[in-house]
């Protein structure tokens, strides 16, 4: 069965999406964010909390970013495992970056596990640059790579 990106919609998350978001989070990360944190993020950063859903309303992925004084922090991007590498993450990140651009955000920062080469390449396709190594960032002691996207020149067309 072939699935196209036209089969998916990106929209602002609501509190009713949180059970699906939590399930996706739990399946995507070895040390997932707890439900109470995701609930708080949805409440505090509702404009930067997006979900992707299929044509029957099933939430398949989400992303969330905080925003303050021209800067944004990409907190998380996660997709249901069976829908990975189908363009949903790109669709979500494009929508989020467009929204941040509308809010006059100059730069976006994120941290990603240094061992997660697929995610690093994904972010680099969007123009994120490696700026620092943060040792012992994660609870298991693994390191993170800090990455930065300058949006001062607008979205430059780089995308996955």
Cα(66)–Cα(144) distance, integer angstroms: 19
* CB-based contact 49:64 (threshold 8 Å): yes
Domains (ranges, CATH) in the chain?
A: 5-150 (3.40.630.30)
pTM of the model: 0.88
Cα(43)–Cα(37) distance, integer angstroms: 10
Binned at pLDDT 50, 70 and 90, residue 2 comes out as very low
Q: Which tens digits make up the pLDDT trace of 6-20? A: 788 999 999 999 999
Percent of the chain with pLDDT over 70: 92
């Amino acid at each position: 069965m072939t699935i196209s990106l036209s089969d998916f919609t990106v929209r602002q998350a609501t509190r009713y999406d949180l059970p699906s978001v939590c399930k996706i989070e739990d399946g995507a990360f070895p040390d997932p964010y707890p439900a109470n944190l995701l609930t708080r993020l949805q409440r505090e950063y509702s404009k930067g909390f997006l979900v992707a859903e299929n044509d029957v309303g099933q939430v398949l992925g989400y992303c969330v970013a905080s925003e303050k004084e021209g800067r944004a922090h990409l907190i998380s991007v996660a997709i249901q495992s069976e829908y990975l590498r189908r363009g949903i993450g790109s669709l979500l990140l494009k929508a989020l970056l467009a929204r941040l651009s509308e809010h006059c955000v100059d730069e976006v920062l994120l941290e990603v596990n240094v061992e997660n080469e697929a995610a690093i390449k994904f972010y680099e396709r969007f123009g994120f640059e490696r700026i620092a190594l943060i040792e012992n960032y994660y609870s298991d002691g693994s390191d993170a790579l800090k990455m930065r996207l300058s949006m001062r020149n607008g979205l430059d067309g780089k995308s996955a």
